[in-house]
Structure 1
Amino acid sequence: MHRDKFLDVVRAGAILAVVGQHWAMPVLSYADGHLSTGNALATPGWWVVTWLSQVMPLVFFAGGAANLMSLRRAASSRDWLANRVRRLVLPVLPLMALWLVIPDVLLEWGIPKQPVEVAGAIAAQLLWFLAVYLLTVLITPLMAAAHRRFGLAVPAVMAVAAIGVDIARFADFGLVGFANAVFVWLAVHQLGFFYAEGGLGALTPRKALALSGAGFGITALMVAFGPYPASMIGMPGAPVSNMSPPTVLLFFLAVGQIGLLLALKPKLLAFAANPAIGRALDWLGARFMSIYLWHMPALIVVAGITVYGLGYATPEPGTVLWLAMTPPWLAGIGIVLALLLKVFSRFEAMGRKTATAGTPQLVFAALLAAAGLLGLAAHGFTTASTPFSGPLPWVALTVAGYALSGRRIHAARITTRFLGHAVAMTESAKLTR
């Protein structure tokens, strides 16, 4: 099967940027049972880094291109959807299994509750991406049909809708801003379709740079004259975040980033042609989801040993000491991640097994899993007084979604079993009266 090396480079660069940013930006210290957390990118002037390091738009762009390509190669939309859902959900199951017990184990070891709660929140918070991406995958066949019929009007309409959501959000209309988790990311995902069909990929470097200039230029104008913060990631204590929920600014940032990479496409392809680089890209591509899922637990392990166990505190960002300590900090977390991948990356390949579930069942499965993942991202792997007040219900939804994405279950059989259990419970209740 032919692979698009440009997309391989974009995906690899995106995951490395995500990992590098998440590992380098924490400012941590521990005292008197309390773990203090800060963000190095909150340093004055460092917001400019986020215009390139905020690469989630590139992940959705590359995903859109790859999804359309693979959808058109698939035997059917059902086969494609089954494969995608299982490959996305299976790798997260071992992570959830471990974090159902880790908080209680840490508390049993005498670690104070507050740092344990922080660790549980950090381990789960990035699952939002899987939830949103699952919904994106679910709607991809419909968006592909819309793309064939309406072309560029589709992302344009979604961008306009995202602007409307932002207007309502800044007017304090409750939770309406979270609608942009759909409009913004689907619009960027849709841009990937234009690359898959050759339109964007065929741009000359000059035209790609013009596209990049337009994207970054609109972003700059909206920051300068609008209500949008300059940082493309959420900052501690900031009244507004461009990321949670996403604002339309990220769509225009995506245009800028995509144009810049397309302008560099000839150089990136030459870079990927190196055999050693090609092998590295293949290795990263086969472990993309595992790296995403386990890079924060790796950070938690190293922070637990050094910050909690040894009393290390992050130096002031930007100082000589911070610059000196960052490389060994990154290297230590990288070693832990490599060990975790040795154990858990195998689940990423296992998700490619054949599934027989029908399309309605697959849709229901994806919705269940997405709901579970969103719940975990919002609430974290926290300790709870009862099983149903902690992460267990969200884990159950995700596991149920994965189970339903495999073998076809006949509705008649489900109904018969449900009625049988209902009758049994009713009879049991009568006997106990």
Structure 2
Amino acid sequence: METSQKPEVKPRRDMFLDVVRAGAILAVITQHWTMPVLSYSGGQLATGNALATPGWWLLTWASQVMPIVFFAGGAANLISLRRAASSRDWLAARVRRLLLPVLPLMAVWPLVPDLLRDIGIPEQPLQVAGAIAAQLLWFLAVYLLTVLLTPLMVAAHRRWGLRVPVVMAGAAVLIDVARFNDFGLIGYANAVFVWLAVHQLGFHYTEGRLGSLSRRAALTMSAAGFGITALMVAFGPYPASMIGMPGAPVSNMSPPTVVLAFLAVGQIGLLLAAKPALNAFAAHPPVATALRWIGPRFMTVYLWHMPALVVVAGITVFGFGYATPEPGTPLWLAVAPAWVAATGLVLYGLLRMFSQFETQSKLSGTVTANLPQLVVAGLLASGGLLGLAAHGFTKPVDAGVFSGPVPWVALTAVSFLLAGRRVPVARMSAWTLGHALALTEATRIRRAR
């Protein structure tokens, strides 16, 4: 007896998540391109923040979208994990997919400062440019940790449900208490607790009640999140701005405070209330086309949007003496669209050159690394990316090679290699060290030439 085999039906994409992620990355770009207040005089680049304008802190409650990024990432990670053949296969694909777009950035930017020195750019603007190009790598470092923990956190989600993010938020409160009682460095532990708690909420969207909330319930959730955030700002030690401000004694972002977890609840509730409208918006053909284009390029857009800003600022501020008008004035409002458009054109050119690293459908070679080796690779990569975020891409002119970005670049590059082919445990340490030293020596020789 013959049986007809039904063709495999490809699962439909969740357009709501696509819109949320695209909106988040566009919000990040818009904020980062419009908030710098720049001027140049006497070899010094002065930098300020437009969002430090009195009253503009309220804008950061919407423009601080990192909670949304981790929420959408949690939902997408759970969806892709349950489609994968195994946790090892999923982790191998995710770690290499996240690291691959970083490789061209790390190949280009350590060389840029020396090239700019050769044409007479002063040292202080170089240091600022190198820091700006690298500082946002902190996100990828922390996100890699959430990816490594995702299989464990999914198991915890299925066993304990909402108790998991609640406990993590409680731990974040305790971390904040210690931080504000003269144990400042412990606050960086909330880079794990806060963002993992928000990431966990993404699981509850995919497998839980969040995905099917009524509009009233979603608005109630939003009001509770924003209400608690407002109370913590009004009566607690937390600043009103949800991003770090120049000269402020405390930042909600670096390290993250638990107030961002409650801000996430407010933002997520608002988005869920608007879900039908967002899905209808995504169904328009031009919007759907744009979402299909940006979806495979999210990380490349994120990594290169600040270098695009450096290019435009270098040409206009350093080259032509342009100074940012007073934020909020009619002149600032008139100039901002042109500034964003110019930076967008530069970013588009960079994407034409570098997005292929992310959009290629398959990574070359077969991944044979086992699960422990993948975890080691992810941890090492996270450390390398944090080092780059902290130190920038610009090495002081008279400093040795190990005081610049090269060790962190080498560590991240070696991590990418470790996430590929399997290396016996007995040889892993020597293999890692050898590749790092070889890359460092090659860079030293290239600089000497």
Q: Name the TM tier (shorter chain).
A: over 0.9
Deviation digits for residues 312-335 of structure 1 (CA, Å, limit 9, x no counterpart): 000000000000000000000000
CA pair 321-90 structure 1, distance change in 2 beyond 3 A: same
Structure 1 residue 351, shift from structure 2 partner: 7.7
Secondary structure class of the residue paired with 1:160: helix
Partner residue of 2:381 out of 369, 377, 402: 369
Structure 1 residue 350, shift from structure 2 partner: 3.8
Secondary structure class of the residue paired with 2:369: coil
Secondary structure class of the residue paired with 1:287: helix
Partner residue of 2:20 out of 10, 13, 22: 10
CA pair 411-276 structure 1, distance change in 2 beyond 3 A: same
1:323 aligns with 2:333: yes
Partner residue of 1:308 out of 306, 318, 322: 318
- Counterparts of 1:157 and 1:41, CA distance in 2: 33
Equivalences for residues 243-392 of structure 1 within 5 A: 243-350=253-360, 352-353=362-363, 354-384=366-396, 385-392=399-406
Equivalences for residues 27-426 of structure 1 within 5 A: 27-350=37-360, 352-353=362-363, 354-384=366-396, 385-412=399-426
Structure 1 residue 372, shift from structure 2 partner: 0.2
Q: Which amino acid aligns with 2:324?
A: T
Secondary structure class of the residue paired with 2:39: strand
CA pair 116-286 structure 1, distance change in 2 beyond 3 A: same
Secondary structure class of the residue paired with 2:139: helix
CA pair 228-174 structure 1, distance change in 2 beyond 3 A: closer
Do 1:67 and 1:140's aligned partners in 2 also have CA atoms closer than 8 Å? yes
Do 1:40 and 1:317's aligned partners in 2 also have CA atoms closer than 8 Å? yes
Q: Which amino acid aligns with 1:400?
A: V
Do 1:83 and 1:352's aligned partners in 2 also have CA atoms closer than 8 Å? no
Indicate the larger mover: 115-124 or 345-354: 345-354
Gaps (5+ residues) in structure 1?
A: 421-433
Deviation digits for residues 329-365 of structure 1 (CA, Å, limit 9, x no counterpart): 0000000000000000000134842422110110110
What is residue 441 of structure 2 aligned with on the other side? none
Do 1:127 and 1:377's aligned partners in 2 also have CA atoms closer than 8 Å? yes
Do 1:57 and 1:254's aligned partners in 2 also have CA atoms closer than 8 Å? yes
What is residue 437 of structure 2 aligned with on the other side? none
Do 1:61 and 1:189's aligned partners in 2 also have CA atoms closer than 8 Å? yes
Structure 1 residue 257, shift from structure 2 partner: 0.2
- Counterparts of 2:422 and 2:226, CA distance in 1: 47
- Counterparts of 1:370 and 1:392, CA distance in 2: 15
CA pair 274-89 structure 1, distance change in 2 beyond 3 A: same
Identity of aligned residues (%): 73
Deviation digits for residues 179-215 of structure 1 (CA, Å, limit 9, x no counterpart): 0000000000000000011410100000000000000
CA pair 416-230 structure 1, distance change in 2 beyond 3 A: closer
Tell me the matched-pair count. 419
- Counterparts of 1:107 and 1:187, CA distance in 2: 44
What is residue 446 of structure 2 aligned with on the other side? none
Q: Which amino acid aligns with 1:291?
A: V
Deviation digits for residues 356-408 of structure 1 (CA, Å, limit 9, x no counterpart): 21101101100111000000001111224211111111001100100000111
Structure 1 residue 275, shift from structure 2 partner: 1.2
Deviation digits for residues 210-253 of structure 1 (CA, Å, limit 9, x no counterpart): 00000000000000000100000000000000000000000000
- Counterparts of 1:331 and 1:229, CA distance in 2: 32
- Counterparts of 2:171 and 2:429, CA distance in 1: 41
Do 1:87 and 1:351's aligned partners in 2 also have CA atoms closer than 8 Å? no
- Counterparts of 2:316 and 2:148, CA distance in 1: 42
Q: Which amino acid aligns with 1:297?
A: P
Structure 1 residue 172, shift from structure 2 partner: 1.2
Q: Which amino acid aligns with 2:404?
A: G
Indicate the larger mover: 197-206 or 219-228: 197-206
- Counterparts of 1:350 and 1:84, CA distance in 2: 14
Deviation digits for residues 66-113 of structure 1 (CA, Å, limit 9, x no counterpart): 001110000000000000000111101110111111011111111100
- Counterparts of 1:412 and 1:317, CA distance in 2: 58
Do 1:372 and 1:397's aligned partners in 2 also have CA atoms closer than 8 Å? yes
Do 1:87 and 1:352's aligned partners in 2 also have CA atoms closer than 8 Å? no
Q: Which amino acid aligns with 1:366?
A: G
Deviation digits for residues 254-292 of structure 1 (CA, Å, limit 9, x no counterpart): 000000000000000000011111110111111100000
Q: Which amino acid aligns with 2:388?
A: L
Tell me the TM-score normalised to structure 2 length: 0.92
CA pair 414-367 structure 1, distance change in 2 beyond 3 A: closer
Q: Which amino acid aligns with 2:333?
A: L
- Counterparts of 2:73 and 2:47, CA distance in 1: 32
Gaps (5+ residues) in structure 2?
A: 1-9, 435-449
- Counterparts of 1:36 and 1:404, CA distance in 2: 41
